[in-house]
Amino acid sequence: MLSNDGSRLRVAIQKSGRLYEDSVQLLKECGIDLRNVKDRLRTESDNFPLEVFFLRDDDIPQYVEDGVADIGIVGENVLYEKNKKADIVEELGFGKCRLSIAIPRGQYYDGVSSLRGKRIATSYPFMVNSYLKQHNVEADIHEISGSVEIAPGIGLADVVADLVSSGSTLFMNGLKEVETIIQSQAVLIRNQSLNADQIEMLNRLLFRIRSVKKAKRNKYVLLNAPNDKLQEIISLLPGMKSPTVLPLAESGWSSVHSVLNEDEFWEKIEKLKAAGAQGILVVPIEKMVM
Ligand code: PRT
Ligand code: ZN
């Protein structure tokens, strides 16, 4: 099943679960068509030298370390917990969460030392153990594979260490977060001994991923500017080089086109309006090739 003649880059992604949709979507946005995604075992692309394996997320670091897959998409939480040899090449910006320690609300807490001697339920024993060691705290780790949040309520543990995103699961189970062990997101990982051909294919893929990521962080802005305010308006706009300026049919006015980063977006829009810009249009960018 997992044959390879070296002419394709083999990527391991989650078979189903929280990272599946975003992983497939990212490949699509990179212009990579995948056949038979529904089959969900393996597939390949007709328009890019890529073969995709669909696996449990827990198995992805091992497959990449062993070189059964060349690269993989997995949460940092799983990568660190499995402690396998694979390098992170890119943060992908989805699947964001944190591994946190949470205690029953109302329970006394005065820093990590309050965890001494406590029973901690978690699916992440390796990371929890390293965290406690780092803080010189001995506690009793109970590894469980799911529904960690109910452990204190049924008397299985005193506290939990679990993944949190919105915090509502903890809240609904009467727990409150007291420590964050790591912040996590989906990352692209690679085997440590790829050959030159595989590295070239990886670089082609990375170039596309970075263009997609960059486009998501930016917006294309078109606006009308009175010519006497043009210099001030242009000075507010960075653009990829400098803004495009075109004369409007109405004399004394120009159309200005540029690219704005989401971090400074609203602040810039307010300044542009104050400087006399009118008819401001903002459109999403599909790809940004630098
Ligand atoms: O079947 P397979 O083993 O592949 O999947 P899985 O069941 O082990 O993992 P899955 O699909 O649940 O999660 C895959 C990855 O998504 C995780 O390894 C994280 O990297 C990432 N991720 C992001 C999350 C969450 N956010 C998340 N909120 N994984 C799990 N959760 C769970 C958490 O365990 C808790 O039960 O959601 C609940 C908390 O969510 P909030 O929003 O209530 O705080
Ligand atoms: Zn899993």
Cα gap 262→130, rounded to integer Å = 37
Residue 36 zone, left/alpha/beta (φ > 0; ψ -120 to 50; rest)? left
pLDDT at residue 240, as a whole number: 62
Of all protein residues, the one whose alpha carbon is nearest to atom 17 of ligand 1 is 75
Cβ-Cβ contacts under 8 Å for 60 (sequence gap 6 or more): 12, 13, 14, 69, 72, 73, 74, 78, 189
Q: What does pTM read for this prediction?
A: 0.91
Cα gap 91→188, rounded to integer Å = 6
Cα of 97 vs centre of ligand 1, distance in Å, is 8
Identify the residue whose tokens are 């978690």. 122
Cα gap 32→219, rounded to integer Å = 23
pLDDT at residue 1, as a whole number: 42
Tokens linked to 138: 């001995």
CA proximity to 9, closest of 171, 197, 183, 163 = 197
DSSP 101-135: EEEETTS---SGGGGTT-EEEES-HHHHHHHHHHT
Residues with CB under 6 A from ligand 1: 14, 17-19, 56-58, 75, 77-78, 95, 97, 162-169, 184
Cα of 250 vs centre of ligand 2, distance in Å, is 61
Ligand found nearest the CA of 13 = 1
Tokens linked to 66: 């062993």
Contact 82, 61 (CB under 8 A): yes
**What one-character DSSP code corresponds to residue 48?**
S
SS3 214: helix
pLDDT tens string, the chain, 290 residues long: the values are 444 678 999 999 999 999 999 999 999 999 999 987 776 799 999 999 999 999 999 999 999 999 999 999 999 999 999 999 999 999 999 999 999 999 999 999 999 999 999 999 999 999 999 999 999 999 999 999 999 999 999 999 999 999 999 999 999 999 999 999 999 999 999 999 999 999 999 999 999 999 999 999 999 999 999 999 999 999 999 766 788 999 999 999 999 999 999 888 899 999 999 999 999 999 999 999 87
Burial 252-268 (b: 16+ CB within 10 A, else e): ebbbbebbbeeeeeeeb
The terminus-to-terminus CA distance of the chain in angstroms comes to: 38
What are the counts of helices (DSSP H) followed by strands (DSSP E) for the chain?
8, 15
Burial of residue 283 (CB within 10 Å: 0-12, 13-18, 19+) is: exposed
